[in-house]
Structure 1
Amino acid sequence: MSQPPVETYYENGKWKDKVEGKERAFKTFETKAEAQAAGRERAKELETEHIIKNMDGKISEKKSYGNDPRPPKGSRG
């Protein structure tokens, strides 16, 4: 079973990182760049997806650092 994704999001005036499904953030930051960098590192450690959201909560970017079951479109194995 794979790990749940790591989310970087904005809430109550702070940028936060949490593992999806967890109640609380594991770290808070003043800037999105700081939160994104920490979230990326955690996603790499867990070998999972990193979901980055804008201030409005909409997903702006997704990156996978895990063992993807399928290669991306257009690539050949």
Structure 2
Amino acid sequence: MAAGDIETFHRNGIWFNRIEGESQTLGSSFMSEAEAVKVGRSAAVARQVEHTVRTEECPSTDASSYELHPRELIGR
């Protein structure tokens, strides 16, 4: 992930979004992964950056980028 990309992550049963390279979360918290992913994906498209979903707050190898890169969705 590059600085500025959006990351969706899980901590203590709650889902969050943040901008890579920043410690504060982006917006509010979410009770479900689906809600957090939807908002994180929209933020990534708006910023024209990548969106990654992690199952834990800490960096890990189980991060997965979504199928379509937000940059490919611009104008659709």
Count residues with an aligned counterpart: 65
Partner of 1:29: 30
1:48 touches 1:65 (CA, 8 Å); kept in 2?
Answer: yes
1:62 maps to 65
Q: Is the 8 A contact 1:8 1:16 kept in 2?
A: yes
Counterpart code for 1:66: R
Could you tell me which amino acid in structure 2 is paired with residue 5 of structure 1? D
Per the normalisation by structure 2, the TM-score is: 0.73
In the alignment, the residues of structure 1 paired with residue 47 and residue 12 of structure 2 have an alpha-carbon distance, to the nearest angstrom, of 27
Give structure 2 stretches of 5+ with no counterpart. Answer: none
CA distance in 2, matches of 1:30, 1:51: 18
Bigger share in helix:
2
Cα RMSD over matched residues? 2.2
Superposition misfits of 4+ residues, deviation over 4 angstroms: none
Tell me, yes or no, if the aligned pair for 1:3 and 1:47 is still in contact at 8 Å.
Answer: no
Q: Could you tell me how far apart the structure 2 residues matched to 1:41 and 1:3 are?
A: 17
- Give, in angstroms, the shift of residue 33 of structure 1: 0.2
Unaligned runs of 5+ in 1: 68-77
Structure (1 or 2) with the larger CA radius of gyration: 1
